[in-house]
Amino acid sequence: MDSGTLHPASSKLADDLSHHLKPLARGGSLEVLTQLREALWFEEVEWVSPRSSQCRVSLHSFLMRQAQARLEFSGPRVCLRISPGLSLAEAVHHWRWTSLSLPGDVLIAAHAAATGQEPPADSVSLGAPELDGFFSETELAQTHLHLGAAIPFERLWTHLMAGIASQDLLPGDLKGTAGFVDTREFLCWLVTAALARLSLGSFLFHLEQGQAQDLGSFLPGLAKRTRPPQVFLGAMSALSQGKDPVSFAEARRLLRTLQGQPPERLQGDPLEVLEQRDPLFEWLGLAPTLPETRLIARSFRYLRTSPADKGFASLFWQYLRIRNLTYRHLVLAPGTGGLDWFSTHFRNISPLRKGMDERTRVCSALEMDSRGARLASLEVRTSPSAHWGDIRNLAREVKAAPFRREEPVARALVLHFIKETHTSRPDKLPNADPRQRAHGCRFGSYFHAREQEVLAIETVLRRHPRLLQVLRGMDVCHLELAVPTWVFVPLLQRVRQASARVAESSGGGLRALGLTLHAGEEFRRLSEGLRHIHEPVEFQLLQRGDRLGHALALGTKPRAWCRDNAVVPQPKEEHLDDLLWELDRVAHDDWLTPRGRARYVKEQATRLGAEIYGGSTALVDLRQARKLRGDAYFLATVGYPFMRSHELAKQWGPPGELAVRYLSDFAVYTRGRQPELVTVHPTDAAMLERTQQFLRSTLAALEITIEANPTSNMLIGEVALEHHPIFSLQPLPGKARKGVSSIAVALGSDDPVTLATSLPDEFAYLYFELLRAGVSRQEAQSWLRRVAEGGMRARFTHQPTGPGPRAP
Ligand SMILES: [Zn+2]
């Protein structure tokens, strides 16, 4: 910067930043963004010379300054810094956004370098010290965690860097490009990053021994250990310039040469093994932090003391750039709501954790959720294999995964069916399309595949009944709108019955599987979300003590929703189902229909029925036909998922025929999928309010617990934390509304790596949000305690009753 003018390179960076921030600023003024940027960039500038009007801000000093402003080390922990102008609650709020853009360990390392200390931890203790008392006294239950994402980024990165030389990861395995041209380029840079990491580490090691001076003169010596040396130097020079990487095969060969043989099969704690596999381990050894955090801290220290080593600076920043792009490849960015965005980020994880076994992931979940907290119960979810042996092994891993704590943590495995629009099939038809050759009905092949998984679960339970101590629940998750509820009715009933038989013959020592469904998380219209929450009750899937995941529709304010969603497109058949469901509820006296609504609903349903089925149909038949879909006996009688004969449906009369046409008629399918622009009716808000009250009292009477995942809902459901439905489901003292039942809630972290969170973090985020809203500390903590108790009560983990359990 020269007297208020940016250097051309900084100017370009500033323009790129504005371009990036504009859509996220939601109409905020560009001038304000510019002021913010200037304040952050040039807060404490370094003048090039005392008399010069030019100033320069080096990247390392900028980051170290930011780290010092945000963090402080307190014994073995890293805490957020409070200052006269910034309370802890505000600091936590700021951290929420920072942590979605940048891995926290980089700031921790920068702080360590700035203050001349060793980094004490790889992550920030968000609640410390204010929530220390709460966390040490309160038992926590993790009720909603997807095992595939239960790895903090820093550990995932270590796994990737340590293993990328030996794993046969190919460009086709990667699911996204992380901002590079294609997956091939992404992979080339990942392997090059591992090579650079090793080179930087080796250089810093030799520097400490007094055997190196600067990176430029050190690298040729290192290159001599590879053949031919020019290729290695070419790879490093390509990275320094950020273009034309060497091929991933070439880079991997170099990496193998430098790294030597991978260590023999290491025994012991999987998390320690993961660290010991890291080539940096030999130099840095075991410590409370990962070798990676210490490498970055040492690099910052070197940048500060040797600013003239430009070669080191460019290689290090390019390394950090690839690391950060990978972080953003995994972590959901704010402003990208919806389950579709989320699912692409979620898909990105699995190739990067290739080679990481399930036991390591379970250990990682145990460690992450007990950071600074008393984790008493851990449930992990994943999709079942169609091979029963895999499920048995997984259940055993969940039970046996070692954990370095005195107090044992109860563990459970929950298996979930994944809702998808497409499954890889030769005909490439969507799962909903009834033209599936062998099946001839909607979701036929999808259902058939899930049946194989059900069979595998039944086999495990039959052969190893004691595994019911660990295999504790079933779930349906992922793209909520892709597969309707009825598809899962026969499947879930079958699994539950199989587990009930095992529980019964155990003589009371075991309980049947619990059920939890992701429902009411994503919906086009609020009534659709509410219907999805009710259908598991309506179709008799949910039982006392079961749970629902998210159920955001239950706490969404109807009047605000109607105001913001005046016209919404929805497939005709889904709108018809909403109306038929409403008519059923009114017929059951579940709620009183608002004045002026009955005729409107009937007219709309009649019109839609005629449009979809190509002729007039009686409403009573349409209503009955919808209910038949959710009836496992009906589906079994008509041969679902193989619809060869329609004759069998005749015994149900016109409703049976309508149900069969819905399942198998392609014309009904295409007409039903047509979007209808649905306009809010003046009576909608009143109806939605009554529906929510009815659902709350129904769920409360059934003792159903709602699993809330605040960060997940903030990013995927675009629900601001301060407006999270959890505050209305479980009201604060004095805030309960008359006549509205409160519902037990449990907290989960959903997908920690994708959402940059953990169970203790979720508690902290909620707590400080309450403080920001003006709630007293005492009230906020007692509310937090109630939520923790809700989780402990609703947990699926085995609680021995009757004769003591034996190991399976
Ligand atoms: Zn989930």
pLDDT of amino acid 800: 61
- Ion ligand 1 — residues with CB < 5 Å: 750
- From the CA of 349, how far away is ligand 1's center (Å)? 15
**Residues 547 and 573 both lie in one domain:** no
Calculated CA dihedral for residues 757, 759, 764, 766, nearest 10 degrees: 90
pLDDT of amino acid 710: 87
Residues in a beta bridge with 475: 416, 516
Cα–Cα distance, 582 to 764 (Å, whole number): 39
Cα–Cα distance, 798 to 808 (Å, whole number): 13
Q: How confident is the model at residue 804 (pLDDT cuts 50, 70, 90)?
A: very low
Is pLDDT at 50 greater than 70 in this prediction? Answer: no
Percent over 90 (pLDDT), the chain = 76
Q: What is the pLDDT of residues 293-332, one digit of tens each?
A: 999 999 999 999 999 999 999 999 999 999 999 999 999 8
Backbone φ and ψ of 84, nearest 5°: -55, -35
pLDDT of amino acid 425: 66
pLDDT of amino acid 51: 66
CB 352 within 8 A of CB 260: no
CB 514 within 8 A of CB 375: no
**Residues 546 and 397 both lie in one domain:** yes
- From the CA of 144, how far away is ligand 1's center (Å)? 6
Q: How confident is the model at residue 285 (pLDDT cuts 50, 70, 90)?
A: confident
CB 513 within 8 A of CB 542: no
Alpha helix positions (H), 260-309:
270-277, 281-284, 291-305
Residues in a beta bridge with 72: 79
Q: How far is CA 490 from CA 386, 449, 495, 631, in A?
A: 17, 13, 9, 8
Structure tokens at 49: 């010379």
Residues in a beta bridge with 142: 378
- From the CA of 641, how far away is ligand 1's center (Å)? 27
**Residues 451 and 377 both lie in one domain:** yes
Is pLDDT at 211 greater than 80 in this prediction? Answer: yes
pLDDT of amino acid 286: 87
- From the CA of 274, how far away is ligand 1's center (Å)? 27
Q: How confident is the model at residue 587 (pLDDT cuts 50, 70, 90)?
A: very high
- From the CA of 551, how far away is ligand 1's center (Å)? 11
Is pLDDT at 765 greater than 90 in this prediction? Answer: yes
Q: Angle at CA 245, nearest 5°, toward 239 and 251?
A: 95
Of the listed ranges 20-29, 148-157, 293-302, 763-772, the least confidently predicted one is 20-29
**Residues 468 and 426 both lie in one domain:** yes
pLDDT of amino acid 48: 65
CB 695 within 8 A of CB 590: no
Residue 547 CA to chain centroid, in angstroms? Answer: 19
- From the CA of 532, how far away is ligand 1's center (Å)? 16
> Stretch 282-293: mean pLDDT, rounded?
92
> CB 304: neighbour CB atoms within 10 A?
16
**Residues 418 and 514 both lie in one domain:** yes
pLDDT of amino acid 2: 55
Q: What is the pLDDT of residues 245-263, one digit of tens each?
A: 999 999 999 999 998 876 6
CB 246 within 8 A of CB 188: yes
- From the CA of 462, how far away is ligand 1's center (Å)? 28
Structure tokens at 732: 């604060």
CB 569 within 8 A of CB 674: no
Is pLDDT at 806 greater than 50 in this prediction? Answer: no
Q: How confident is the model at residue 805 (pLDDT cuts 50, 70, 90)?
A: very low
Q: How many structural domains comprise the chain?
A: 4
Residues in a beta bridge with 453: none
- From the CA of 408, how far away is ligand 1's center (Å)? 25
Mean pLDDT of all residues belonging to the chain:
92
Residue with tokens 């919906």: 523
Backbone φ and ψ of 705, nearest 5°: -100, 140
pLDDT of amino acid 807: 37
> Stretch 698-727: mean pLDDT, rounded?
86
Q: How confident is the model at residue 455 (pLDDT cuts 50, 70, 90)?
A: very high
Q: Angle at CA 753, nearest 5°, toward 752 and 757?
A: 40
Residues in a beta bridge with 514: 473
- From the CA of 693, how far away is ligand 1's center (Å)? 25
Q: How confident is the model at residue 738 (pLDDT cuts 50, 70, 90)?
A: confident
In a domain, 689, yes or no: no
Of the listed ranges 383-397, 427-441, 461-475, the least confidently predicted one is 427-441
**Residues whose CB falls within 8 Å of the CB of residue 525, separated by 6 or more in sequence, listed in order:** 565, 568, 570, 575, 578, 678
Residue 266 CA to chain centroid, in angstroms? Answer: 30
- From the CA of 794, how far away is ligand 1's center (Å)? 16
- From the CA of 337, how far away is ligand 1's center (Å)? 15
- From the CA of 717, how far away is ligand 1's center (Å)? 12
Cα–Cα distance, 158 to 151 (Å, whole number): 11
pLDDT of amino acid 29: 81
- From the CA of 535, how far away is ligand 1's center (Å)? 19
Domain end position, chosen among 646, 679, 712: 679
Domain end position, chosen among 339, 372, 389: 339
- From the CA of 419, how far away is ligand 1's center (Å)? 12
In a domain, 101, yes or no: no
Cα–Cα distance, 527 to 162 (Å, whole number): 49
- From the CA of 708, how far away is ligand 1's center (Å)? 10
Structure tokens at 760: 């203790």
Of the listed ranges 169-183, 208-222, 328-342, the least confidently predicted one is 328-342
- From the CA of 791, how far away is ligand 1's center (Å)? 15
**Residues 648 and 789 both lie in one domain:** no
- From the CA of 329, how far away is ligand 1's center (Å)? 19
pLDDT of amino acid 251: 95
CB 708 within 8 A of CB 550: yes
Is pLDDT at 808 greater than 60 in this prediction? Answer: no
Closest alpha carbon to 94 in 681, 83, 797: 83
- From the CA of 695, how far away is ligand 1's center (Å)? 21
- From the CA of 515, how far away is ligand 1's center (Å)? 14
pLDDT of amino acid 742: 82
In a domain, 72, yes or no: no
More confident call, 285 vs 266: 285
Is pLDDT at 512 greater than 80 in this prediction? Answer: yes
- From the CA of 749, how far away is ligand 1's center (Å)? 8
Percent over 70 (pLDDT), the chain = 96
- From the CA of 751, how far away is ligand 1's center (Å)? 7
Q: How confident is the model at residue 46 (pLDDT cuts 50, 70, 90)?
A: low
In a domain, 96, yes or no: no
Residue 556 CA to chain centroid, in angstroms? Answer: 21
Backbone φ and ψ of 750, nearest 5°: 65, -90
Q: With the C-alpha atoms ordered 123, 127, 133, 139, is the resulting torsion angle positive or negative?
A: negative
> Stretch 653-666: mean pLDDT, rounded?
96
pLDDT of amino acid 310: 96
- From the CA of 416, how far away is ligand 1's center (Å)? 10
CB 200 within 8 A of CB 239: no
**Residues 135 and 159 both lie in one domain:** no
Transcribe 523-564 into DSSP letters.
-SSHHHHHHHHHHHHHTT---TT-EEEE-HHHHS-HHHHHHH
**Residues 402 and 522 both lie in one domain:** yes
- From the CA of 146, how far away is ligand 1's center (Å)? 6
**Residues whose CB falls within 8 Å of the CB of residue 533, separated by 6 or more in sequence, listed in order:** 519, 520, 548, 551, 553, 554, 695, 699
Q: How far is CA 219 from CA 215, 226, 237, 246, 323, in A?
A: 6, 11, 11, 17, 22
Of the listed ranges 214-218, 302-306, 338-342, 762-766, the least confidently predicted one is 338-342
User: Could you tell me the residue range of the domain that residue 187 belongs to?
Assistant: 152-339
- From the CA of 241, how far away is ligand 1's center (Å)? 41
**Residues 492 and 595 both lie in one domain:** no
**Residues 205 and 321 both lie in one domain:** yes
Closest alpha carbon to 490 in 641, 310, 278: 641
- From the CA of 477, how far away is ligand 1's center (Å)? 6
**Residues 294 and 417 both lie in one domain:** no
CATH number at residue 466: 3.20.20
- From the CA of 527, how far away is ligand 1's center (Å)? 21
- From the CA of 251, how far away is ligand 1's center (Å)? 37
- From the CA of 746, how far away is ligand 1's center (Å)? 13
- From the CA of 745, how far away is ligand 1's center (Å)? 15
In a domain, 347, yes or no: no
Q: What is the CA radius of gyration of the chain?
A: 29
Q: What is the pLDDT of residues 346-380, one digit of tens each?
A: 889 999 999 999 999 999 999 999 999 999 999 99
Structure tokens at 303: 């940048």
- From the CA of 368, how far away is ligand 1's center (Å)? 17
- From the CA of 386, how far away is ligand 1's center (Å)? 21
Q: Angle at CA 172, nearest 5°, toward 168 and 174?
A: 85
In a domain, 116, yes or no: no
Cα–Cα distance, 36 to 17 (Å, whole number): 12
Domain end position, chosen among 304, 339, 374: 339
- From the CA of 710, how far away is ligand 1's center (Å)? 11
Q: What is the pLDDT of residues 376-425, one digit of tens each?
A: 999 999 999 999 999 999 999 999 999 988 789 999 999 999 999 988 76
- From the CA of 581, how far away is ligand 1's center (Å)? 26
Q: Angle at CA 439, nearest 5°, toward 436 and 443?
A: 70
3-state secondary structure of 279: coil
- From the CA of 748, how far away is ligand 1's center (Å)? 9
Q: Which range, 160-169, 174-183, 264-273, 575-584, has the best average confidence (pLDDT)?
A: 575-584
**Residues 443 and 519 both lie in one domain:** yes
- From the CA of 709, how far away is ligand 1's center (Å)? 8
- From the CA of 94, how far away is ligand 1's center (Å)? 25
- From the CA of 379, how far away is ligand 1's center (Å)? 12
In a domain, 792, yes or no: yes
In a domain, 759, yes or no: yes
pLDDT of amino acid 186: 97
Of the listed ranges 29-38, 144-153, 754-763, the least confidently predicted one is 29-38
